[in-house]
Structure 1
Amino acid sequence: MFHPDELRAQALAGFDAVSGAIYPAMPEQHREFFANLPYLFVATLDETGWPVATVFSGPAGFIRSPDATHLRISSPRRSDDPAQAALQPGRPVGALGLDFSNRRRNRVNGIVGRTDKNRVEIVVRQSFGNCPQYIQRRELYPAPASPLPVERLGALDKDARTTIAQADTFFVASAAHVNTASGGVDISHRGGNPGFIYQDGETLWIPDFRGNRYMNTLGNLLAQPRAALVFIDFTRGDVLHLRGETHIIWHPEKRATMPGMERYWRVAVTDIWRFRQALPWRGRNVEFSPATLRTGIWREDNRPY
């Protein structure tokens, strides 16, 4: 069920006998859940083996499940999006469905099956749900997408730093043991109060709050210390995609603590893409998760170094 580095991460975190409901196919309720979503977060590996991540959007029904082991995304792919361009048959892939209206989320991991210009098929090998902790509830409403050409940045600019500083939500893609039944590509949600990501130049410091103890992301980062991060600007419909090398701090010093944090990790950002006005929806009326409200943020007296 868990690959060797997920088990190693659980041990490093001090967890004993972690178990979870990870299925080889999608339960019926998960298939219905995906079919009703207007967006889907997806990750894969590019030709160099680095994780890349993206978000697909479409009207309800643009995601279909013809059977319990196939998920089909009917949406045009952007050739200038490194993750969408990398979704080629045989590549490992992970997908996360998250409903911001009720904090429900389900994940699938597998490989890319058939593709064409307007469709990507996921052959599901792992299917599982996650708890609603740290998911901020939002009202989403339609807004016209007016995609601009991708911006490839050499460093985090003012707009990118503002997006990160104001974020209460982001998504992280990672991968490990992709040629084994227990490994693959994974994309996961992270949430916190605005300010829960500390910025120092091109390095981001991210707390790891109490969760389901699967350690999917950190287990992957132990094996392959590389991650892709996706930030959504819910006001403007922008997508910020970062990539970088990671390092986990398992036992923080006493001063580098905050409520809810058990450990933290850093990302040294190496690649940045920004897609302005890319999403056909926006978010408003944020309701913070009770779990989020019990956590803290970085300040000068508890910064991570």
Structure 2
Amino acid sequence: MTRYHRGELIAQKRAGLLDEAARLTGMFNTEIPWAAAAFLAAQPMIVLGATDTRGDVWATMLTGAPGFISATGVSTIDIAAATTPGDPLEEALSAPAPVGLIAIEPGTRRRLRMNGTAHPTPAGLRIELAQIYGNCPKYIQKRRPMLAPATPGVARAGVTLTAEESAFIGQADTFFVATADPDGNTDASHRGGNPGFLQALSPTHLRWPDYSGNSMFNTFGNLELNPRAGLLIPDWPTGTLLHLSGTAIVDWNPTHAEAVPGAERLVDFTVEHVVRIDNASPLRWTTPEPSRFNPPTHSTNRPATPGPLPAVRTGPRGNRASRSRRATER
């Protein structure tokens, strides 16, 4: 018996890590350990991945005062939060949906991954968990949150990145990636590195290195079967969230990876949809302390904290674009 699906086994075999991955199956739980319940209760944010009604995969962030995530059963958690208006998963989460989640505490470099099925509730979401397991602390930049409530802006929807968004991506030290298998079972994962590890090669083409990880290949296993993926890139100082959806391809050619310090593989992401919401999160985060595991990048000497994304100019009524244009861009 294995806890890995076919795509994960294919990716593990490609990497030559089948045996190592098999030794990790004891990490998977179907019930919430007490330590995991306490960890979740202390968090002010959680990242969630799911597939929208068009079949596009997205990642988003839900926030609240510590305690907004609670274990309400042996395999159930409640999240007392709703998506921001204009969030790409707003409609998908209004009905039962497979989801992947990652709770991450940058201040202590701890993280917890989960997947299951989300059900809408009057307070937010109830998640019936299928799996829950911990992850290593590598590549997490240490930072701590502060609460600064603000009104979320109107979502900017498009199909390409703006020049400002591309520049911001090139300075990011953290992002989250959501993937799903052909049945919709979803995973949400963290990626981190020194500024410059995530590159915007064009308004529709991103690339990042795959560093040494836990050998489970949950993300790559899904991509073996379904190339749809979603990225969430937070602007830590301002609370702006940049959501991207498209397709991802893993480059397994070791010669290509050798050109990038620390890379074992490379991932190319094609942007198909962009949603940006200024002030989407009420959390503001301190200047980061980079992880000692981060490999160097061509831009390691850049400031560790990305410059904030400039606000999108608004029209006479505060909208970033007319209703008809937003509908067309979607």
1:163-192 deviations in whole A, cap 9, x for unaligned? 20110000000001437xxxx200000001
Percent identical pairs in the alignment equals 35
Residue 244 of structure 1 aligns to a residue whose secondary structure is: strand
Partner Cα separation in structure 1 for residue 83 and residue 176 of structure 2: 20
1:170 is matched with: 175
Q: Which amino acid letter does the alignment assign opposite residue 109 of structure 2? A: R
CA contact (8 A) 1:163 1:231 kept: no
Partner Cα separation in structure 2 for residue 243 and residue 76 of structure 1: 20
Partner Cα separation in structure 2 for residue 212 and residue 161 of structure 1: 29
Q: CA deviation at 1:285?
A: 2.6
Correspondence 1:187-202 to 2 at 5 A: 187-201=188-202, 202=204
Residue 134 of structure 2 aligns to a residue whose secondary structure is: strand
2:18 is matched with: 16
1:185 and 2:216 aligned? no
Partner Cα separation in structure 2 for residue 48 and residue 209 of structure 1: 31
1:67 is matched with: 73
1:144 is matched with: 149
1:239-264 deviations in whole A, cap 9, x for unaligned? 00001111111123257522221001
1:42-95 deviations in whole A, cap 9, x for unaligned? 111111222121101111111111112111111133342121331144310111
1:205 is matched with: 207
Task: Report the CA distance shift for 1:272/1:114 in structure 2 as closer, same or farther (over 3 A).
Answer: closer
Q: CA deviation at 1:154?
A: 3.1
Q: Which amino acid letter does the alignment assign opposite residue 40 of structure 1? A: I
Partner Cα separation in structure 2 for residue 255 and residue 237 of structure 1: 33
Q: CA deviation at 1:115?
A: 2.5
Q: Which amino acid letter does the alignment assign opposite residue 257 of structure 1? A: A
TM-score, normalised with respect to structure 1: 0.91
Q: Which amino acid letter does the alignment assign opposite residue 62 of structure 1? A: F
Q: Which runs of 5+ in 1 are unaligned?
A: 300-305
CA contact (8 A) 1:54 1:84 kept: no
Match of 1:37 among 15, 21, 43: 43
Partner Cα separation in structure 1 for residue 262 and residue 216 of structure 2: 17
1:249 and 2:254 aligned? no
Residue 255 of structure 2 aligns to a residue whose secondary structure is: coil
1:161 is matched with: 166
Structure 1 residue runs of 4 or more that deviate by more than 6 Å after TM superposition: none
CA contact (8 A) 2:144 2:286 kept: yes
Correspondence 1:76-91 to 2 at 5 A: 76-91=82-97
Q: May I ask how many residue pairs the two structures share in their alignment?
A: 292
1:113 is matched with: 119
Partner Cα separation in structure 1 for residue 14 and residue 84 of structure 2: 40
Task: Report the CA distance shift for 1:27/1:256 in structure 2 as closer, same or farther (over 3 A).
Answer: same
Query: What value does the CA root-mean-square deviation take over the aligned residues?
Result: 1.6
CA contact (8 A) 2:78 2:124 kept: yes
Q: CA deviation at 1:143?
A: 1.3
Match of 2:217 among 215, 218, 221: 215
Partner Cα separation in structure 1 for residue 31 and residue 93 of structure 2: 21
Partner Cα separation in structure 2 for residue 108 and residue 45 of structure 1: 16
CA contact (8 A) 2:256 2:266 kept: no
Residue 166 of structure 1 aligns to a residue whose secondary structure is: coil
CA contact (8 A) 1:31 1:68 kept: no
CA contact (8 A) 1:94 1:108 kept: yes
Q: CA deviation at 1:199?
A: 1.9
CA contact (8 A) 1:40 1:97 kept: yes
1:129 and 2:123 aligned? no
CA contact (8 A) 2:209 2:257 kept: no
Q: Which amino acid letter does the alignment assign opposite residue 52 of structure 1? A: W
2:297 is matched with: 297
Partner Cα separation in structure 2 for residue 89 and residue 128 of structure 1: 25
Residue 237 of structure 2 aligns to a residue whose secondary structure is: coil
CA contact (8 A) 1:242 1:271 kept: yes
Residue 125 of structure 2 aligns to a residue whose secondary structure is: strand
Match of 2:278 among 269, 272, 276: 276
CA contact (8 A) 1:71 1:121 kept: yes
1:238 is matched with: 240
Task: Report the CA distance shift for 1:68/1:46 in structure 2 as closer, same or farther (over 3 A).
Answer: same
2:312 is matched with: none
* Higher strand residue share: 1
1:28 and 2:34 aligned? yes
Partner Cα separation in structure 2 for residue 114 and residue 204 of structure 1: 33
Partner Cα separation in structure 1 for residue 56 and residue 77 of structure 2: 23
Q: CA deviation at 1:231?
A: 0.4
1:51 and 2:57 aligned? yes
2:105 is matched with: 99
Q: Which runs of 5+ in 2 are unaligned?
A: 300-330
Partner Cα separation in structure 2 for residue 79 and residue 279 of structure 1: 12
